[in-house]
A and B are shown apart, each in its own frame.
Chain A
Amino acid sequence: MAVASAENAVRTGRFTRTFIYLFLLLFALFYLMPLLVMILNSLKPLAEIRGGNMLALPKQWTIEPWLSAWSTAQVGVEPTGLKPFFWNSIKMVVPAVVLSTVMGALNGYVLTKWRFRGDTILFGLMLFACFIPFQIVLIPMARVLGLLGLAGSTPGLVLVHLVYGVGFTTLYFRNYYAAFPTELVRAAQIDGAGFFRIFWRILLPSSGPIVVVSVIWQFTNIWNDFLFGASFADLDSMPMTVALNNLVSSSTGVKEYNVHFAGAILAALPTLLVYIVAGRYFVRGLMAGSVKG
Chain B
Amino acid sequence: MGFLDINNVTKSYGSVEVLHQVDISVEEGEFLVLVGPSGCGKSTLLNMIAGLEGISSGEIAIKDQVMNGVHPSKRNIAMVFQSYALYPNMTVGQNITFGLEMHGVPKPERQKAMNDVAKLLQIEPLLARKPGQLSGGQRQRVAMGRALVRNPDVFLFDEPLSNLDAKLRVDMRTEIKKLHQKLGTTIVYVTHDQIEAMTLSTRIAVMNGGYVQQLGTPKEIYDTPANLFVASFMGSPSMNLISVGVKAEGDTIYAETDNSEGETIRLAFAQPSAALKAHDGRQITLGIRPEAITDPEGADRNSRHIETIRNMVEVTEPAGSDTFVASTLGGKECIARMRADADVGPNRIADFAINMEKAVPFDPATEARIV
Interface of A with B (CB < 8 Å)? 181, 183-184, 186-193, 197, 201-202, 205-206
Cβ distance A109 to chain B, nearest Cβ, rounded Å: 15
Partner of B103, one of A192, A201, A202: A192
Question: Which B residues touch A186, using CB under 8 A?
Answer: 50, 52, 72, 79, 81, 85
Task: List B residues 95-151 near A (Cβ within 8 Å).
Answer: 98-99, 102-103, 146, 150
Question: Which A residues touch B50, using CB under 8 A?
Answer: 186, 190
Residue of A190, A192, A201 with most partner-chain B CB within 10 A: A190
Question: Which A residues touch B52, using CB under 8 A?
Answer: 186, 189-190
Give 20 A-B pairs besides A183-B81, A184-B85, A186-B85 with Cβ atoms closer than 8 angstroms.
A181-B83, A181-B85, A183-B82, A183-B83, A184-B87, A186-B50, A186-B52, A186-B72, A187-B85, A187-B87, A187-B146, A189-B52, A190-B73, A190-B78, A190-B79, A191-B150, A192-B102, A193-B73, A197-B102, A202-B89
| A192→B77 CA distance, assembly (Å) | 11
Pair B83/A193 contact, Cβ less than 8 Å:
no
Pair B72/A190 contact, Cβ less than 8 Å:
yes
Nearest B residue (CB) for A202? B87
Interface contacts (Cβ under 8 Å), in number, total 56
Nearest B residue (CB) for A203? B89
| A186→B158 CA distance, assembly (Å) | 12
Partner of B89, one of A191, A193, A206: A206
| A183→B82 CA distance, assembly (Å) | 9
Q: Can you list 28 residue pairs at the A/B interface with Cβ under 8 Å?
A: A181-B83, A183-B83, A183-B85, A184-B85, A186-B72, A186-B81, A186-B85, A187-B81, A187-B87, A189-B73, A190-B50, A190-B73, A190-B77, A190-B78, A191-B73, A191-B98, A191-B99, A191-B102, A191-B150, A192-B103, A193-B73, A193-B102, A197-B102, A202-B87, A202-B89, A205-B89, A206-B88, A206-B89
Question: Which A residues touch B146, using CB under 8 A?
Answer: 187, 191
| A149→B79 CA distance, assembly (Å) | 52
| A188→B73 CA distance, assembly (Å) | 9
Task: List B residues 38-91 near A (Cβ within 8 Å).
Answer: 50-52, 71-73, 77-79, 81-83, 85, 87-89
Cβ distance B259 to chain A, nearest Cβ, rounded Å: 53
Cβ distance A163 to chain B, nearest Cβ, rounded Å: 31
Cβ distance B156 to chain A, nearest Cβ, rounded Å: 9
Question: Which A residues touch B81, using CB under 8 A?
Answer: 183, 186-187
| A187→B47 CA distance, assembly (Å) | 11
| A118→B103 CA distance, assembly (Å) | 33
Question: Which B residues touch A206, using CB under 8 A?
Answer: 88-89
Question: Which B residues touch A184, using CB under 8 A?
Answer: 85, 87-88
Question: Which B residues touch A191, using CB under 8 A?
Answer: 73, 98-99, 102, 146, 150
Question: Which A residues touch B78, using CB under 8 A?
Answer: 190
Q: Which 9 A-B pairs have the closest CB atoms?
A: A192-B73, A191-B99, A192-B102, A205-B89, A187-B85, A183-B85, A183-B81, A190-B72, A184-B85
Cβ distance B326 to chain A, nearest Cβ, rounded Å: 42
| A201→B87 CA distance, assembly (Å) | 9
Cβ distance A54 to chain B, nearest Cβ, rounded Å: 53
Question: Which B residues touch A181, using CB under 8 A?
Answer: 83, 85
